[in-house]
Structure 1
């Protein structure tokens, strides 16, 4: 069966996208949301985390056979939009998708459509937040797992990575790294594997409830995600599982090995 399957791996990452039915729940009204999202200090922080965690780890994947849309607001300030364009320019697998304010899920579906290509039997649709990173073998591992699971599982199904690390930036100047094994799927790198013609994606349901809707494969073999905790987490970044079981020195070694990120950068980010 595997020889008959052709996969395309595509992702959507939201970067300060304006919606009229999701983020207003956190900010009250569209004007307040716009002021908050486009605050220069906030945008500078988000750009920095995106560049050094999210983009850095995805751009250096051992398997570069994927495409990823960065979904953002078309009326984001020019200086920030230009920074995003400059960051993405050297990496052809990334697409900047700027959209007007609209319904959250509709914008996400449009971004996936803009990223997809014809001619495949199946799609591996992944999600990731702009302030999180993935291990450098994430795409390679996701491809291998998807192909193997398609031999035995009814599709669509979920692949989630529940072992990883948290970078806690809650206290300025005192960033800390913690290991974690989560009890439910996270937003970081979780993917929905489905027939290419099926119009769906992993933003359809809350990620922690995926097992209610899909067969769900949860891998804890290696640390795969690096999530940040900071005051601007819109939906929170609660740790729900086994956390802080390893010594700091071991966590540091594993993060350098899995993500290729300088420890001094993580301490000062």
Structure 2
């Protein structure tokens, strides 16, 4: 069964942001500000990509959606970061309505729309466990009876971490956050044009069966200066520096290396 991820990488959509802007020009200026893009690219390199490259089940694809005005020098850097992730493709779009363009991109990525597929959203500053795809497939296979007759079913792993990354390494706290974007996925039956982007992630259980799994920590949600949800619950979480055991867990579970974090953010 095809598994498809979608990452909105500083794409200047019309709508879809919690941080508001008066005009699309203001949004583009905000998203493409040099300091912000530098932070996003560092987080992509050290947090979001390593776990994708280390998936125990590499049978998935992921689309990185960028704007058609994305700065050329940063396109080159993005392409370089994705060189050793053959599952990734970059797709360019002009500013358009958020949900419409996201739905189009996901449906275009389906190899055979008549066959069922798995879909997940992916933020460029978050991470999932290195066995996320494997656990997703296994759980879907175990849920065959539930899937029968359903257009879609949501699967969620609510245990994870809030983390901050910087030149001093990683500060984190364990959290229980149902229906986060990270470690949340959706089954779509064959022949249906539904996508995970048809719905706000927090509202998925209103529209379909919802499976929540109490597995070990499955996600890392980054808290930083430019993430869109910085005004939400994340800033209320008290993070603390990881000790050696915590750093080993992040390395083994999420392929996040504290030494690389220090070097990259100290540069």
Total equivalences in the alignment: 261
Deviation at 1:187, TM superposition (A): 0.6
* Match runs of 1:1-269 below 5 Å: 7-23=1-17, 26-118=20-112, 121-154=115-148, 155=150, 156-169=152-165, 173=168, 175-182=170-177, 184-236=178-230, 238-239=233-234, 250-266=245-261, 269=265
Q: 1:248 Cα deviation (Å)?
A: 5.1
How far is 1:51 from its partner? 1.6
Shift of 1:174: 7.2
Please say which of residues 154-163 and 62-71 is displaced more in the overlay. 154-163
- Distance between the aligned counterparts of 1:210 and 1:248, measured in 2? 36
Give RMSD over aligned pairs.
2.7
Tell me the CA shift for residue 218 of structure 1. 1.2
> Secondary structure of the residue that 2:197 maps to in structure 1?
coil
Q: Return the alpha-carbon distance in structure 1 between the equivalents of residues 239 and 224 of structure 2.
A: 18
Change (3 A) 1:112 1:60: same
**Does the CA contact (< 8 Å) of 2:167 and 2:262 recur in 1?**
no
Q: Which runs of 5 or more structure 1 residues have no equivalent in the other structure?
A: 1-6
- Measured after TM superposition, the shift of residue 244 of structure 1 is 7.2
Task: Write the distance in 1 (CA, Å) between the matches of 2:169 and 2:234.
Answer: 19
> 1:142: how far off?
0.6
Give the secondary-structure state (helix, strand or coil) at the position aligned to 1:27. coil
DSSP 3-state at the match of 2:79: helix
The alignment partner of 1:96 has SS state of strand
- Alignment correspondent of 1:4: none
Query: TM-score, normalising length from structure 2?
Result: 0.88
Change over 3 Å in CA distance of 1:24–1:179 after alignment to 2: closer
Q: Decide whether the 8 Å contact of 1:181 with 1:220 is kept in 2.
A: no
Equivalents in 2 of 1:168, 1:24: separation in Å? Answer: 20
Assess if the C-alpha contact under 8 Å between 1:180 and 1:244 holds in 2. Answer: no
Please identify, of 107-116 and 39-48, the stretch whose mean Cα deviation from structure 2 is larger. 107-116
Task: With the length of structure 1 as denominator, give the TM-score of the two structures.
Answer: 0.87
Instruction: Give the whole-Å Cα distance in 1 for the aligned partners of 2:66 and 2:49.
Output: 15
1:166-211 CA distance string (max 9 Å, x none) = 1125x885741111122x2111131110113211222222212222
